[in-house]
Amino acid sequence: MAVEDYNRARGTFEGEINRLQPNTICVHGDNPKAVQFAKRFHNALKERRIDVSAAR
C-alpha cells in the first residue's frame, strides 16, 4: 500500500497549492475487504511513524 508523505503539497482544481496536515482520517467501507483495507492503512501509517489512535 502506498501512503505518501502527509505533509506533501497538493494541487486544487483551481490550480492553487495546499499543504496537507490532517489531524484525522475517516475510513468508510461496506465491502467485504473494508476491514482488511483499514488494517493495511493503519499499518502503513505506523510504519512511517505517524501516530495512530482511536477518535475520542
Beta strand 17-19 with 9-11 is antiparallel
Tell me the C-alpha distance between 26 and 33, whole Å: 16
Q: Range of 40's domain?
A: 25-56
Q: Is residue 4 scored above 70 in pLDDT?
A: no
Provide the β-strand partners of residue 10.
18
Structural domain includes residue 56? yes
End-to-end CA distance of the chain: 27
Tell me the C-alpha distance between 20 and 10, whole Å: 7
pLDDT of residue 36: 92
Structural domain includes residue 47? yes
Structural domain includes residue 44? yes
Domain total in the chain: 1
Regarding pTM above 0.75, the answer is: no
Select the more confidently predicted residue: 37 or 54: 37
Structural domain includes residue 11? no
Q: Find the mean pLDDT for residues 24-45.
A: 88
Structural domain includes residue 6? no
Q: Is residue 7 scored above 60 in pLDDT?
A: no
Structural domain includes residue 19? no
